[in-house]
Chain A
Amino acid sequence: MASSKNIIALKSILHKEIHRFMRIWVQTLVPPAITISLYFVIFGSLIGARIGEMAGFDYMSFIVPGLIMMSVITNSYSNVASSFFSAKWQRNVEEMLVAPVPNWVIVAGYVGGGMARGILVGGIVTLVAMFFVDIQIHSFAIIIITVALTSATFALGGLINAIFAGSFDDISIIPTFILTPLTYLGGVFYSISLLPEFWQGVSQINPIVYMVNAFRYGFLGISDVSLIHSFAVLGIFIVSLYTIAMVLISKGIGLRS
């Protein structure tokens, strides 16, 4: 298919995906704002006031980047996982499979949709955060690059989850048992330098540590890990997950009999 036709196909999938989560905005955009407001009230205002400073910043300012990143991760992942699995379940994924849409366009379309929701929710959470704390920005470029790469990573993860999923239960297992623990242990609420040495080492194998810290660097100019390591981890994850997703779709795993 000529490249102009691929662009039209990509725009169609993107449009469909964005329209889907915008149509059900009460389910997709409002809950993260409420959840994050509760985090700010409980961890930031009530408990945070007793904690004092963390890495030289008041606790509220310290957790804001992590909470925004947590919303981006959760929403970019769940958007693709639920949308692609619904398309499988209703069989309307066949609309794309019978059309001359290259596999990379399908992957890019769904990942783009997941990124759009992740970034939009990240923006909403940032706006909510502004009611609780004066947000400072150290490097706008780092913030944008980190949020884009992180949302792409987890959108790819959500896609792979949906490809393998055989029921709606299957798309909640990874977020519940893997994603949430990794996020909570990924330095959202604390600096990993506070941990004993052994657990600092363990934290180094949690990829979310690198994403949260790169993002926090964009806001506060501080990070527990080097930026180069953070972007290297993100790059490795994106390339690996993209390759896996392409192989799965090419082979028709979970899609073709």
Chain B
Amino acid sequence: MPSALAISGLEKTYKGGFHALKGIELNVEQGDFFALLGPNGAGKSTTIGIITSLVNKTAGKVSVFGHDIDLELEQAKSFIGLVPQEFNFNQFEPIMKILLNQAGYYGVERSIALGRAEKYLKQLDLWDKRNEPARQLSGGMKRRLMIARALMHEPKILILDEPTAGVDIELRRSMWNFLRELNQQGITIILTTHYLEEAEMLCRNIAIIDSGIIVENTDMKSLLAKLDIETFVFDLKPSTALQSFKQFNARAVDDHTLEVDVKKSQTINRVFDELNKHGLDVLSMRNKSNRLEELFVNLVGRGQLADENVVKEK
């Protein structure tokens, strides 16, 4: 069974000389929910652009469900649904027309396209807006329109570049549920996002790209297992003793909030024991930040370091 996406030795140097991708190797299995993460300018959108033929590659190979984009571009394209980062539909067209046109470009019969448009517009809560020009939709609605548009030809692989950027929490969660359902139906999903919580909650496998280099490519569980220290925030009954609590690299945020770092080798029970000894009563406790976020910062830092070394060697 071919991979949904196989990338090897992918390079991209833009006209101005900017070396955006430096030999990307990536493999996404069929049915996967895959996160491609990286800071701004790392090469995520360039990679997606090459996969979807919006960007010309400098070197390397890309195959979609076994179809090499150099040899069988049209077959490869027919498997892909793209939800780009920026709105790229005709703002003056009614949304139903946008969907029907897109289906037409993929050779979908109009009668079938009408049924699919109704299905996806209803699922994405846009059916009432079907005859309105796209420019009249809110930002969240425009994002959902782009998802509906990407699904009109029923792709086998859906690539979403920052699909929930600027979307409120409630809508974001409903979009997560929708994407989970699509994945359960067998659609391979590749996601780029700045919301690392999103990647942690949705994705099984992950690649982190930085300065055009893949600095990590593994499954989410293995990656999270690498986290050595986790920071917890304790809400306490106000106490002056809090300032004198220095174990676990503790920091008092105010007179009733304490942050502590717990290593993997330590247990949280020990933190509670020490808090008890200091007469501090715990009201509640939570993780300070998303675990993936901490790993991401570490890995991206490492990538930058590697890149600097490459520059120095030159």
Contact = CB atoms under 8 A, between A and B. Distances in A.
B106 to A, nearest CB: 5
A1 interface: yes
A90 B77 contact: no
A8 B107 contact: yes
Contacts of A19: 97
A97 interface: yes
Given A252-B56, A256-B54, A95 B89 contact: yes
Contacts of B108: 8
Contacts of A86: 90
A120 interface: no
Contact of A91 (B15, B49, B86, B103): B86
A87 interface: yes
Given A1-B74, A256-B55, A11 B104 contact: yes
B88 A101 contact: no
B53 A98 contact: yes
Interface in B45-101: 49, 52-56, 73-75, 77-78, 80, 82, 84, 86, 88-91, 97, 100-101
B195 interface: no
A13 B209 CA distance: 37
Contacts of B100: 12
B107 A5 contact: yes
Interface string B90-129: 1100000100111111111110000000000000000000
A95 B106 CA distance: 10
A4 B101 CA distance: 16
Contacts of B109: 8
B101 A98 contact: no
A96 interface: yes
Nearest to A24: B92
Nearest to B107: A5
Interface string A42-55: 00000000000000
Contacts of B153: 99
Q: Looking at A12, A16, A252, which has the most chain B CB atoms within 10 Å of its CB?
A: A12
Nearest to B87: A91
A72 interface: no
Among A2, A96, A98, residue most surrounded by chain B Cβ atoms (within 10 Å): A98
B101 A95 contact: yes
B14 interface: yes
B151 to A, nearest CB: 13
A13 B106 CA distance: 11
B77 A98 contact: yes
A16 B98 CA distance: 9
Contact of B107 (A1, A92, A98): A1
25 contacts: A5-B107, A6-B107, A8-B107, A8-B109, A9-B104, A9-B106, A11-B104, A12-B105, A13-B104, A15-B101, A16-B97, A16-B101, A19-B97, A90-B88, A94-B54, A94-B88, A95-B88, A96-B105, A97-B53, A98-B80, A100-B73, A100-B105, A252-B56, A256-B55, A257-B49
Interface of B: 14-15, 49, 52-56, 73-75, 77-78, 80, 82, 84, 86, 88-91, 97, 100-110, 149, 153
Given A94-B84, A99-B102, 14 more contacts: A1-B74, A2-B107, A8-B108, A8-B110, A12-B103, A13-B104, A16-B97, A92-B90, A95-B105, A95-B149, A98-B53, A99-B105, A99-B106, A257-B49
**The 5 A-B residue pairs with the shortest CB-CB distance in the complex, in nearest-first order:** A5-B107, A12-B104, A99-B105, A91-B88, A100-B74
Interface of A: 1-2, 4-6, 8-9, 11-13, 15-16, 19, 86-87, 90-92, 94-102, 252, 256-257
